[in-house]
Amino acid sequence: MPPEFLSGGIYVPDRPERTPGHHGTFLRKAKAGLPAVQAEKDITDLNQYIMDQKLYVFDTTLRDGEQVPGCQLNTIEKIELAKQLEAMKVDIIECGFPISSPGDFKSIVEISKIVTESTICALSRAVEKDIDVAADALHFARRKRIHTGIGTSDYHIRYKFNSDREEILQRAVAAVKYARKYVEDVEFYAEDAGRTENEYLARVVEAVIKAGATVVNIPDTTGYCLPEEYGAKIRYLFDNVPNIDKAIISTHCHNDLGMATANTLAGVLNGARQVEVTINGVGERAGNTAMEEVVMAIKCRKDIPVKTDILTRHFYKVSHAVSTLMRMPVQPNKAIVGRNAFAHSSGIHQDGVLKNRESYEIIDPVDVGVNDSTIELTARSGRAALNHHFLRLGIHMNKEELDSAYDKFLKLADCKKEINDSDLYIIAGVTQDKLKQRMHLKYLQVVCGKNSIPMATVKLIIDGEECVATSSGNGPVDAAFKAVRSLVHRKITLEEYLVQAITRGTDDVGQVHIQIENKGNIYYGFSANTDIVTASVEAYVNAISKII
């Protein structure tokens, strides 16, 4: 649509894709209100314009999401996830904080060479050296963005920087100007904006936009805001920052009070046109805003006047990949991607869904990639059939991986009636992880039961050598873990031990997540098996193998 003045003085700008700022002009003009004589057609055009507005999706799973202690990803894992994020049409992928570690730097370099459609973003503080390193890391990126910023709340200004508002404002401006020397696309974050006084925040936003910021991020760093308050903060900026139409305003909400999705949507409803999110809502403490929740809310609520380009059918698969690679189980009742998200157990609900799915479902599970139909895979299926199903799920295996996965599949098919997509994801994840492991569980026997002393014998292969130990304990898992520890001669503390059934039924696969501590470092282990004691010991061995 060409730029056009509608009667009544409402300016409807054209909608160049990926041009920051145009919505700001629109919102300011529209905010003035429609004159009483406004024709009905104009209102329809206006609504259509609003409906067509693009919301940029900025994924920070690989940066803020990955800050969870013990969930760090290596470069190969980050590349794998970045490819999946690009395939689902994420607009911007924040891949790391390059000055913080050589691993982050390397990941950004490698992802920049491979991902060409999404913009690659690198984080920095408002420090010249950080920005130099970020620019360096982004050297190969086809589309690149530097994300720089500084704390703007009085807590940060006084206690973190021992500074004052004027000095922080100058540092913010200087950082944006410096980053603009390297790249055209510079995003500024006002850390702890959620607790920053609005008047000062508006001054900072105006100044950084003037300095060249194309996107301004308003993080609720501590997850303190309530939705109405966060929405009002964004609205305040649109009302009080004269040059706000020159930049995109972004949300970045943490989930400490369980408000991240609500706050993000409140931000969008008040003019924000970029959302910073992570898959499964992973992130430090209570996590970040979950991408799948925001995108699906926008998709199924027609009264939220924006659209994203996200291919939502990828959600289930990407959620699995993040959960497996980060060793972070998805809670069963997690919105959109939890295993119970579409499970109707009460008779009344089942009856209603059978008569008309929409009686109890607001989202078609197929829209988020949940395929609830049972896959025709049996113990008689061959490698080709298995590989066909892996490929259907977007899992690519080399010959060695497929052979190993096939062995696991046959064992599972022997003791489980239905092999479903979740089982296949588990088989793939465990296989690809195990092949890299230097220590394996070869044999396990446990004796336990009422009025008996639990005993376990384990045989481990450590760098090709077989070693055996037997131990007693207060249960079969305790006994087996003691036996394993006696073979690895390390002080290991079990920090977390979580067993989950994938679907239902006593023949189901149990997945086990384990967190251990050794010399102050945290290591994660994962396994899945129809025998939960075996799964537990395998997960324990998987975690310990990362130490050795």
Of 204 and 458, CB closest to ligand KIV: 204
Q: How many CA atoms lie within 13 A of 400 on its CB side?
A: 5
What does DSSP say about strands 274-277 and 56-59: parallel, antiparallel, or unpaired? parallel
Distance CA 388, CA 384 (A): 6
Of 64 and 423, CB closest to Zn ion: 64
Binding mask 29-68 for ligand KIV (x = CB under 6 A): -----------------------------------x----
Binding-site partner at residue 191 among ligand KIV, Zn ion, none, CB < 5 to 8 Å by type: ligand KIV
Binding-site partner at residue 143 among Zn ion, ligand KIV, none, CB < 5 to 8 Å by type: none
Of 282 and 370, CB closest to Zn ion: 282
Give which of 289, 205, 310, 207 is closest to 249, Cα–Cα: 205
Q: Is 220 in the site for Zn ion (CB under 5 A)?
A: no
Q: Is 251 in the site for ligand KIV (CB under 6 A)?
A: no
Of 217 and 432, CB closest to ligand KIV: 217
What's the closest the beta carbon of residue 23 comes to ligand KIV, in angstroms?
21
C-beta nearest to Zn ion: residue = 64
Binding-site partner at residue 196 among ligand KIV, Zn ion, none, CB < 5 to 8 Å by type: none
Of 208 and 492, CB closest to Zn ion: 208
Distance CA 237, CA 217 (A): 12
What's the closest the beta carbon of residue 18 comes to Zn ion, in angstroms?
24
The residue type found at 130 is D
Of 217 and 431, CB closest to ligand KIV: 217
Of 78 and 254, CB closest to ligand KIV: 254
Give which of 375, 438, 381, 430 is closest to 401, Cα–Cα: 430
Task: Assign residue 381 a region (left: φ > 0; alpha: ψ between -120 and 50; beta: otherwise).
Answer: beta
Binding mask 253-272 for ligand KIV (x = CB under 6 A): -x------------------
Give which of 340, 281, 337 is closest to 313, Cα–Cα: 337
Rg (CA), the chain: 26
Of 268 and 419, CB closest to Zn ion: 268
What's the closest the beta carbon of residue 508 comes to Zn ion, in angstroms?
36
Binding-site partner at residue 434 among Zn ion, ligand KIV, none, CB < 5 to 8 Å by type: none
Distance CA 267, CA 280 (A): 20
> At which residue do the structure tokens 């096939």 appear?
406
Distance CA 22, CA 33 (A): 18
- Cα 23 to chain center, whole Å? 27
DSSP, residue by residue, 256-319: TTS-HHHHHHHHHHTT--EEEEBGGG--STT-B-BHHHHHHHHHH-TTS--B----GGGHHHHH
User: What's the residue count for the chain?
Assistant: 548
Of 264 and 381, CB closest to Zn ion: 264
Distance CA 170, CA 161 (A): 13
Binding-site partner at residue 189 among Zn ion, ligand KIV, none, CB < 5 to 8 Å by type: ligand KIV
Binding mask 66-85 for Zn ion (x = CB under 5 A): --------------------
# chain residues binding ligand KIV, by CB under 6 A: 8
- Cα 9 to chain center, whole Å? 42
Of 97 and 526, CB closest to Zn ion: 97
Binding mask 214-243 for ligand KIV (x = CB under 6 A): ---x-x-x----------------------
- Local structure of 484: helix, strand or coil: helix
What's the closest the beta carbon of residue 200 comes to ligand KIV, in angstroms?
16
Give which of 231, 215, 214, 221 is closest to 304, Cα–Cα: 231
Q: Is 96 in the site for ligand KIV (CB under 6 A)?
A: no
Of 272 and 539, CB closest to Zn ion: 272
The residue type found at 269 is L
Q: What percent of the chain is helix, strand and coil (3-state, nearest 5)? A: 45, 20, 35
Q: Are 251 and 275 in contact (CB under 8 A)?
A: yes
Q: Is 91 in the site for Zn ion (CB under 5 A)?
A: no
Q: C-alpha distances in angstroms, 259 versus 26, 40, 230, 293, 373?
A: 28, 37, 10, 12, 34
Of 153 and 534, CB closest to ligand KIV: 153
Q: C-alpha distances in angstroms, 539 versus 66, 414, 473?
A: 21, 22, 18
Burial tier of 463 (Cβ tally within 10 Å: 0-12, 13-18, 19+)? exposed
What's the closest the beta carbon of residue 224 comes to ligand KIV, in angstroms?
11
Q: Contacting Zn ion (CB under 5 A), which of 59, 64, 66, 192?
A: 64
Binding-site partner at residue 264 among ligand KIV, Zn ion, none, CB < 5 to 8 Å by type: none
Binding-site partner at residue 278 among Zn ion, ligand KIV, none, CB < 5 to 8 Å by type: none
Q: How many CA atoms lie within 13 A of 45 on its CB side?
A: 21
Of 197 and 351, CB closest to ligand KIV: 197
Q: Is 454 in the site for ligand KIV (CB under 6 A)?
A: no
User: Which pair of structure tokens corresponds to residue 100?
Assistant: 């913080």
What's the closest the beta carbon of residue 161 comes to ligand KIV, in angstroms?
15
Binding mask 154-193 for ligand KIV (x = CB under 6 A): -----------------------------------x-x--
Q: C-alpha distances in angstroms, 522 versus 283, 390, 469?
A: 16, 31, 25
Instruction: Catalog residues that contact ligand KIV under the rule CB under 6 A.
Output: 64, 189, 191, 217, 219, 221, 252, 254
Instruction: Catalog residues that contact Zn ion under the rule CB under 5 A.
Output: 64
